[in-house]
Amino acid sequence: MRELEQGEDIREKGIEPERIQKILSKSGITSRRNAEKMILDGRVCVNDVPATLGQSARLGHDIITVDGVAVTDESEHVYLMLNKPCGYITSTSDDRGRKTVMELVAGAGVRVYPVGRLDINSAGLLLFTNDGDFANNVMHPSSGKQKTYEVDVSGDVRGAVKLLQQPIEIDSHTVLAVGVDLIKATDSGGIVRITIVEGRNRQVRKMCVACGVRVDRLKRISIDNLNLGDLKTGQWRHLTKEEVKSLG
């Protein structure tokens, strides 16, 4: 990066210092709230020096890295949806050598990041973007985004459906599904469609366990009006402008 010459005014060159959290959000890496945690965890550096909370820098002049990877200024926002298969973790990297969802969207041609997460044994709709504000709006519970899952379970599925329609306490929090539908019932289990808003860690799985059934398969099929549709497992596509607007 070029050093400013003596007497050269930063503002005249349009290089305005910004808080690190804002830079990471604008670059699509994470939300501002999560950026604070990343800084406190020592994952963010400015010119090879660990960043501090509240620090400002100039993207395009200072070298800002997250986990050793340089942050770049994306000139255009990109929005993708992936039909995630089981066996992949929702992370940009993994120190245990496990497969990550980033491998599946490597062909996008631009650096994007997963919006929220699906655990390694869960499948279905997963969003990616380099727009931090969009990601934060989709993930934050206050936005009221509804997420719908189809869950194959073993056990008394009819009894579980009745319990799932009531408030359930998990991890010292009371949660309530906004929609529960029995799709199929057999002597040994069935399929349930569950819609939630909160999105706590492994919430749907924990709700099912609390209601006495075992989760055999879990797939997210929609986020608000955005449906997985006929997108094949392991494939991704760009969102349309209308889809982005509906989620924004």
Beta strands in 100-167 (DSSP E): 113-115, 123-129, 147-154
Residues for the chain: how many in total? Answer: 248
> Which CATH number fits the domain that encloses residue 137?
3.30.70.580
Supply the pLDDT for residue 73: 67
Mean pLDDT, residues 8-13: 42
Backbone conformation region of residue 132, classed left if phi is above 0, alpha if psi is from -120 to 50, else beta: alpha
Nearest to 128, CA basis, from 118, 142, 143, 141: 118
Domain that holds residue 24: 11-70
For residues 66 and 160, state if they share a domain.
no
pLDDT band of 111, cuts 50, 70, 90: confident
The two beta strands, 123-129 and 214-223, are parallel
> Which CATH number fits the domain that encloses residue 25?
3.10.290.10
For residues 66 and 90, state if they share a domain.
no
pLDDT band of 231, cuts 50, 70, 90: very high
CB 84 within 8 A of CB 100: no
Active site residue 171: no
pTM for the model stands at 0.74
Report the domain count for the chain.
3
Active-site residue among 94, 119, 224, 230?
119
pLDDT of 22 > 90? The answer is no
Q: Is the dihedral of CA 61, 67, 69, 72 positive or negative?
A: negative
Burial class (CB in 10 A: 0-12, 13-18, 19+), 109: exposed
| Tens digit of each residue's pLDDT (9 = 90 or more) over 90-100 | 998 888 999 99
- Is residue 6 in some structural domain? no
